[in-house]
Amino acid sequence: MSLGIVVFGHGSSVPSANEAVRAVAARMAEEGGLPLVEAGFLELGKPDLPGAVDRLVERGATRILVVPYFLTLGIHLQRDLPRIVEGISRIHQGMEIRVTPPLDGHPALSAILVERAREADA
């Protein structure tokens, strides 16, 4: 079974913000040796989450993991994401679709904040 991964971002009207999410997804694929990774967006970016899943299925994914590129478990992850995943599940019946927690709580975040603070103070 081939795992397809969607790095799920909010999306922005600022093209460079959406491109940053795509770049993170590409680095994740390269550094992790993961051949089936796509960026997907809630709004204002292309593709949306269903479109990203469709792309992965076309490339051979048989199960999907959605990795939210969000810091906290806000309203979009509590309300919108489950609704979208439910719709995708109706289209791709029988396909396993799982969602990871957001980035909040990951031990690397505090180290990143320390690094940013030190860089700014240098």
Question: Cα–Cα distance between 75 and 63 in angstroms, integer?
Answer: 25
Please work out, in degrees rounded to the nearest 5, the angle formed at the alpha carbon of residue 68 by the alpha carbons of 47 and 73: 130
CA neighbor of 21 nearest in space, from 75, 77, 68: 68
Sign of CA pseudo-dihedral 21, 24, 30, 34: negative
Catalytic member of 10, 76, 92, 106:
10
Residue 10 known to be catalytic? yes
Which positions are annotated as active-site residues? 10
